[in-house]
Amino acid sequence: MDQKRFAANLRNAGLPLTLPAGAEPNLSLILGGAGARLEDIVAAYSAFARHGKAARLRLKPSDPLTERALMSPGAAWIVRRILAGEAQPVPDASLPQAVPLAWKTGTSYGYRDAWAVGLNARYLIGIWTGRPDGTPVVGQFGFASAVPLLNQVNNLLLARPAMSRGGLPSDPRPATVSQGTICWPGGQDLPAGDSNCRRRLASWLLDASQPPTLLLPGQESVRGIRFPVWRNEHGERVAADCPGARESQVEVWPLPLDPWLPASERRRARLGPASESCPPLQTQDTAPLVLSGIRDGAVIKRLPGEARVMLPLQTSGGEGRRWWFINGEPLEAAGARTTLTLDKPGEWQLVVMDEAGQTAAASFTLQ
């Protein structure tokens, strides 16, 4: 699902997003890069308590019920349990039928707004704190400012006689939701003892589906994170036509995670050493070279009063030393990270190359 379709689905369910003039939905939506009214956010959260259907906010019992489908009943049930702190599957006999308070917080840019939305067994609760004129409040964020109020309102509602009269509504597990185990990094279940199961976790499954790990375009080669490897009797990697070569499959962690992994879990360690007498093709274990810090087609604007701009850049993957070029001219940097300083507006092209001959490039405009 792309950004425009995602925003359209929210709008159809009653949650229109406010964007700057002339702007279109983009990837910043996932980080809150749009505006919305609190009452619309609260109404959209009703989908988690109404089997995936978002209802228009009703302030009086006599108001008509208007609802639109936003997600499947199974997806709504799983997300609500996650927000209630019940992400780990348990047997149905141990699963609370009345869901505890499920809540989510948010903080707008510059600490201007702090909000929290909660769902208990009967009510939706929306909390907003801030200043009407949008003035920032230093140190204000959702968990510190809005959640305490959310808990107070929730406790007051739970203490009302109407909440206990006749018992609380139950929220049984839909038939489309089941328990399962998945293995990382692949994201799917593997037999016990499989060396590619680096971490085994219990999970709720929707329609018994176990989708593989989602990979970002351009950050992996065509084979993804699953590598065919041939080894000799010593466990060294060899070419496929070497005597005694035995084929196996090795699943590695996605490339962007490599710098944060323990040494034993990094891609090079998982693939293992190469044989000196019958080495594999060098391209088999060279991770794609990925440039981050600037994207192709970006428009960079200097801050008011600033004569220059500084761009922290880094690469992941690749092999060995790096060579950096700006508009065809070499830079002094030779490592995986560098900071590019520019003071002249215009069109620029950045290229980085590694020892394996791989290149990554980005063309951008400085204004």
Domain shared by 126 and 184, yes or no:
no
Domain shared by 41 and 157, yes or no:
yes
CATH number at residue 77: 3.40.710.10
- Quote the percentage of the chain above a pLDDT of 70: 96
In-domain check, residue 9? no
Domain shared by 201 and 111, yes or no:
no
Last residue of one domain, picked from the residues 259, 285, 311: 285
Domain shared by 185 and 234, yes or no:
no
Domain shared by 71 and 153, yes or no:
yes
Domain shared by 117 and 202, yes or no:
no
- Could you tell me which residues are beta bridge partners of residue 249? 228
Residues 6+ apart with CB under 8 A from 358: 286, 288, 289, 318, 319
By the 10 Å C-beta count (0-12 exposed, 13-18 middle, 19+ buried), 27 is classed as exposed
Give the pLDDT band of residue 338 (cuts 50, 70, 90): very high
pLDDT tens-digit series, residues 84-96:
998 889 888 888 8
pLDDT tens-digit series, residues 117-147:
999 988 999 999 999 888 888 888 899 999 9
Write down the pTM of the prediction: 0.76
In-domain check, residue 119? yes
Domain shared by 189 and 139, yes or no:
no
pLDDT at residue 284 tops 60 = no
Domain shared by 183 and 70, yes or no:
no
- Could you tell me which residues are beta bridge partners of residue 316? 290
Domain shared by 117 and 188, yes or no:
no
Q: How far is CA 344 from the centre of its chain?
A: 35
Last residue of one domain, picked from the residues 248, 264, 285: 285
Domain shared by 241 and 343, yes or no:
no
In-domain check, residue 17? no
Domain shared by 138 and 80, yes or no:
yes
Q: What domain range is 200 assigned to?
A: 177-206
Domain tally for the chain? 4
Give the pLDDT mean for 349-357: 88
Give the number of other CB atoms < 10 A from CB of residue 87: 14
Give the pLDDT mean for 157-181: 83
